Amino acid sequence: MTTTDFRTLADELRARRAPGFWRSRRWRLDQLDGLAGMLSQNITLWEQALAKDLGKSDLEAHITEISVVLEEIRLAKRNLWHWMLPHPKPVPATLQPAWAHTVRDPLGAVLVIAPWNYPLQLALAPLVGAIAGGNSAVVKPSELAPATSELIARLAPIYLDSRAVRVVEGAVDETTALLEQRWDLIFYTGNSRVARIVAAAAAKHLTPTVLELGGKSPVYVDASANLRVSARRLAWAKTMNAGQTCIAPDYVLVHESVREPFVEELRKAVLEQLGTAPATNAEYATIVNERHFDRLRGLMSSGTRRVGGGINRDELRIEPTVLTDVAPESAVMAEEIFGPILPLVDVADADEAIAFVTEREKPLALYVYAEDTAVVRRFQQETTSGALGVNVSLAHAAVPSLPFGGVGESGMGAYHGRKSFEAFTHEKGVLAKPTRLDTLQLIYPPHSEGRRKLLRRLFR
Ligand code: NAD
């Protein structure tokens, strides 16, 4: 596409919003059905693409990508009529009689930029919100998951209204050209470095942004934790998609009194879930490319290796690896790991863990494993994060009634379920006042002394 093509594309999608035929509930429901068909009628193709891009097993692809979007579609279809209803609001006595309500307007033409790690879910789940909100949209999938990107681009025109939904494939050049256009919202998922480029481009047109970012999501394992269950849940969360998950547990602050039994439980949990040779297990995903593989290999030299450590560069596989005696200033603690390496940092108590977390950037997710409810309460009250998981990791993303998004360096804005509809619409306030009796005349000038006194009493 040339620069002119990008401008034409954005202009077309923005111009169409005026007559806005796709504001209707019928159009939105038809498109949501189309999107559901695009997924459910091509399950094998999606699974093959995700296996090619990330070595995802068919079951993992199904549970963490396809079914997540289908569930979002079902929820939006069920609730759309309710979300689109005007919501009545109270009116102050001084303005009575009058009726106030809010309605949700589509924003117009939106741009969705997706990353590679859940390349289907993170391109299409935002699109559910965009369509439910009555917008036109351009979706830009990640070039680092080329098979999934190609499939999205190939199937979208078959199942969706091409006048309103377009897919643009490409990398930095194409995304840069898209960002130069004027949009009504940019919904970006990815790293915080590119998020700054997105935000700067958006500022030129005063375009609002939703930024779904990442960073290090910490875990605290308390002395009171159920170590067996905690280790199982953490091993599962850290090895899902080989740790390439934005809300994957990044590192564990472990109470020093339980560190050794916890390492043993982690060893057992990895063995139970992925066997003696995880790197050859077909259920276990691969690392996305050589660059990330080499980066992760470099991070494995921090601390002492206690579990795993095996690698296979030809197949881009890294075994789940647990490191202990990790210094807080070591390389593995400096950046988001985004791979199956789990460093353990000893702490003396919950105070030290809370201080460690609050001294750093606000995370996308924070996980506390403890049976002591006072410890859990302290984490809820004394820390800030996009989400908090208590004795569970990752699963909050599968609860559509919970907002999904970061805070501070981990992002701004949220989506999933009703929040997606809200993210892609503007809440418009409407006030209507009957004309039969002009009660406002009290406020019109000129104001006699008596009227001035009355108005002062009314508007205290
Ligand atoms: P990525 O490299 O696929 O990049 C994301 C998108 O940005 C792509 O579509 C890419 O084409 C585009 N892009 C890359 N460089 C660009 C540039 N210079 N200018 C304009 N566009 C550019 O994915 P990534 O950023 O490596 O994704 C991983 C990061 O995303 C991690 O930090 C992870 O935590 C985060 N993430 C967050 C969520 C969430 O929901 N909050 C979900 C998944 C991933």
Residue 459 belongs to some domain of the structure: no
Question: Could you tell me the pTM of the whole model?
Answer: 0.96
**How many domains does the chain contain in total?**
2
Q: Which residue has the higher pLDDT, 434 or 19?
A: 434
**CATH number of the CATH domain containing 34:** 3.40.605.10
Q: Are residues 191 and 245 in the same domain?
A: no
88 class by beta-carbon count within 10 Å (0-12 exposed, 13-18 middle, 19+ buried) = exposed
The predicted structure's pLDDT at residue 22: 62
Give the rounded percent of residues in the chain with a pLDDT score beyond 90.
93
Q: Are residues 247 and 303 in the same domain?
A: yes
Q: Are residues 126 and 84 in the same domain?
A: yes
Question: What are the structure tokens assigned to 323, written together?
Answer: 């490191």
Q: Among residues 72, 246, 336, 422, which one is catalytic?
A: 246
Q: How far apart are CA 9 and CA 14, in angstroms?
A: 9
pLDDT digit string (tens) for 167-210? 999 999 999 999 999 999 999 999 999 999 999 999 999 999 99
Residue 74 belongs to some domain of the structure: yes
pLDDT-derived band at 14 (thresholds 50, 70, 90) equals confident
Residue 176 CB less than 6 A away from ligand 1 = yes
The predicted structure's pLDDT at residue 23: 79
Q: Are residues 103 and 132 in the same domain?
A: yes
Number of Cβ atoms within 10 Å of the Cβ of 208: 17
Closest-lying ligand 1 atom to the alpha carbon of residue 404: 40
Q: Are residues 224 and 263 in the same domain?
A: yes
Q: Are residues 318 and 273 in the same domain?
A: yes
Q: Write the DSSP assignment of 44-105 as a string of letters.
A: HHHHHHHHHHH---HHHHIIIIIHHHHHHHHHHHHHHHHHHS-EEE---GGG-S-EEEEEEE
Element (H, E) at 154: helix 146-159
Helical spans, DSSP H, in 205-240? 227-239
Q: Are residues 256 and 385 in the same domain?
A: yes
Residue 419 belongs to some domain of the structure: yes
Q: Are residues 183 and 222 in the same domain?
A: no
Report CA(166)–ligand 1 centroid distance (Å). Answer: 20
Q: Which amino acid, 156?
A: A
Q: Are residues 165 and 269 in the same domain?
A: no
pLDDT digit string (tens) for 94-137? 999 999 999 999 999 999 999 999 999 999 999 999 999 999 99
The predicted structure's pLDDT at residue 20: 58
Residue 229 belongs to some domain of the structure: yes
Residue 25 belongs to some domain of the structure: yes
Question: What are the structure tokens assigned to 264, written together?
Answer: 């043993």
pLDDT-derived band at 258 (thresholds 50, 70, 90) equals very high
Mean per-residue pLDDT over the chain, rounded: 96
The sheet with strand 425-432 has its strands ordered as: 87-89, 99-106, 425-432
Q: How far apart are CA 116 and CA 142, in angstroms?
A: 5
Closest-lying ligand 1 atom to the alpha carbon of residue 190: 30
Token pair 């459910």 in the structure block, residue:
40
Q: How many residues does the chain have?
A: 460
User: What phi and psi, each to the nearest 5 degrees, are found at residue 287?
Assistant: -80, 145
pLDDT of 19 strictly over 60 = no
Residue 200 CB less than 6 A away from ligand 1 = no
Q: Are residues 8 and 106 in the same domain?
A: yes
Q: Are residues 52 and 125 in the same domain?
A: yes
Residue 410 CB less than 6 A away from ligand 1 = no
**CATH number of the CATH domain containing 337:** 3.40.309.10
Question: What are the structure tokens assigned to 104, written together?
Answer: 């949700």
What's the domain range around 203? 3-213+411-427
Residue 185 belongs to some domain of the structure: yes
8-state DSSP, 242? G
Residue 432 belongs to some domain of the structure: no
Q: Are residues 124 and 168 in the same domain?
A: yes
pLDDT digit string (tens) for 270-322? 999 999 999 889 899 999 999 999 999 999 999 999 999 999 999 999 999 99
Residue 380 belongs to some domain of the structure: yes
pLDDT-derived band at 79 (thresholds 50, 70, 90) equals very high
Mean pLDDT, rounded, for 155-163: 96
pLDDT of 21 strictly over 70 = no
